[in-house]
Chain A
Amino acid sequence: GAVVSQHPSWVICKSGTSVKIECRSLDFQATTMFWYRQFPKQSLMLMATSNEGSKATYEQGVEKDKFLINHASLTLSTLTVTSAHPEDSSFYICSANAVGTEAFFGQGTRLTVV
């Protein structure tokens, strides 16, 4: 089946630095990718919808200047957490849609800001 790969799987960074997370669709072209955030024992909360070649659509309450999303190609979307702080520590998950197929999720990225 279709595969969505996230990189890195986990990252530890210092407070104030920026972290980039990649989401790749390995064997299909994804016109739309979604970025979710999940706190421990909580549900997945949608952060933004990313369409290839256009600006991402952010959910209410999500700071677009802090969570920069770039969807430059049909197989790659990136999420950059800028000036990360400990409260940004979370599990970030992407999903990718291809036309006529189900949505596939990446394996997630565990971000820890110290």
Chain B
Amino acid sequence: GQQLNQSPQSMFIQEGEDVSMNCTSSSIFNTWLWYKQDPGEGPVLLIALYKAGELTSNGRLTAQFGITRKDSFLNISASIPSDVGIYFCAGSRTGSTLGRLYFGRGTQLTVWP
């Protein structure tokens, strides 16, 4: 089935550094989502994007919905140890977070103190 291309696969950074990850698709999505998953837990929604070109922030997190509707990126500024986890992008063909979601492979983030 449809899978999103997410990169990088993993990142090892020092506390305080900024982080950037992105997701691309060969087809259009009407909603882009970014989730964080801690070990042994389910994903938790960080940011939802509903319009092409939309730039949305949630604290130190900023995400953008690409103009072509085929890509999105997530930035984390001034990383802290609790940012450690796996970040997933997800796309939906509906105009909301409802309905079937297609997930990227995830970006494993490690933050060194």
Interfacial residues, chain A to chain B (CB-CB below 8 A): 4, 6, 9, 32, 34, 41-46, 49, 59-60, 91, 93, 95, 97, 101-108, 110
- Give the shortest distance, in Å, between A112 (CB) and chain B (any CB): 13
Interfacial residues, chain B to chain A (CB-CB below 8 A): 1, 3, 35, 40-45, 48, 88, 96-101, 103-106, 108
- Give the shortest distance, in Å, between A9 (CB) and chain B (any CB): 8
Q: Would B98 and A46 count as touching, CB distance under 8 A?
A: no
Measured CA separation A95–B88 after assembly (Å): 15
- Give the shortest distance, in Å, between B88 (CB) and chain A (any CB): 7
- Count A-B pairs with CB separation below 8 Å: 61
Q: Would B1 and A59 count as touching, CB distance under 8 A?
A: yes
Known contacts: A42-B105, A108-B42. The answer to whether A49 contacts B100 by CB under 8 A is yes
Q: Would A105 and B88 count as touching, CB distance under 8 A?
A: no
Measured CA separation A106–B44 after assembly (Å): 9
Which 3 pairs between the two chains have the least Cβ-Cβ distance? A105-B42, A102-B97, A43-B103
Known contacts: A32-B98, A43-B3, A43-B104. The answer to whether A108 contacts B41 by CB under 8 A is yes
User: Which secondary structure characterizes the binding site on chain B?
Assistant: loop
Chain B residues with CB under 8 A of A6: 42
Q: Would B103 and A44 count as touching, CB distance under 8 A?
A: yes
User: Which secondary structure characterizes the binding site on chain A?
Assistant: strand
Measured CA separation A6–B42 after assembly (Å): 10
Q: Would B43 and A44 count as touching, CB distance under 8 A?
A: yes
Q: Would A46 and B101 count as touching, CB distance under 8 A?
A: yes
Chain B residues with CB under 8 A of A103: 45, 97-98, 101
24 intermolecular pairs with C-beta atoms under 8 Å apart: A34-B100, A41-B108, A42-B106, A43-B103, A43-B104, A44-B101, A45-B1, A49-B100, A59-B1, A60-B1, A91-B40, A97-B97, A101-B97, A101-B98, A102-B48, A102-B96, A103-B101, A104-B45, A105-B35, A105-B42, A106-B42, A107-B42, A108-B40, A108-B42
Chain A residues with CB under 8 A of B105: 42-43
- Give the shortest distance, in Å, between B106 (CB) and chain A (any CB): 6
Chain B residues with CB under 8 A of A108: 40-42
